[in-house]
Amino acid sequence: MSKQHDSRGSLAFVEMLQICGFSAKRLFLLENFTDNAVRGNHAHKSCQQVIFVLRGQAEIEIDNGRYFSRITLKNNNYFMSVKAMTWVKIENVSEDSLILVAASDEYDESDYIRSRQDFEAMVNAAP
């Protein structure tokens, strides 16, 4: 996320196509987290997402069947790009966190893979 500063304050912005590789068709915010909250915990067949932690911090786990990573994002410093067919789990979120997710597609329940077992079977069957 880029920032510009002047006497009026700061402006943070994202050039979606340049940073994400797609124009977002859906944006959503995650906030008001409870203790031990877990968000995501699913994959998408075709939708891509970019996750921005605007305030606070969150631990984000991604797994595409070949590559696994767990990273902590804090206060607007970085973003996580999530390709299709990648399992995403967001946890260990600070109570005050505000997370923005940009998605390449509009909501479509049929695009979700909600079972980890089904996801692993699909990934293992891919050439």
Residue 98 located in a structural domain: yes
Residues 6+ apart with CB under 8 A from 6: none
Tell me if the pTM is above 0.75. yes
Residue 6 located in a structural domain: no
Question: Which segments of the chain does DSSP mark as H helices, in order?
Answer: 16-20, 116-125
Choice among 16, 19, 22, 42 that is catalytic: 42
42 included as an active-site residue: yes
Residue 8 located in a structural domain: no
What integer pLDDT is reported at residue 18 of this predicted model? 81
Residue 4 located in a structural domain: no
SS3 34: coil
Residue 57 located in a structural domain: yes
Residue 2 located in a structural domain: no
| Residue 71 structure tokens | 């990273």
Q: What is the mean pLDDT of each run of 10 residues along the chain (127 residues)?
A: 82 79 92 92 96 93 94 85 96 92 96 96 86
Round to whole Å and give the CA distance between 118 and 116. Answer: 5
**Domain count along the chain:** 1
Domain holding 110, by residue range, is 16-125
Contact 94, 57 (CB under 8 A): yes
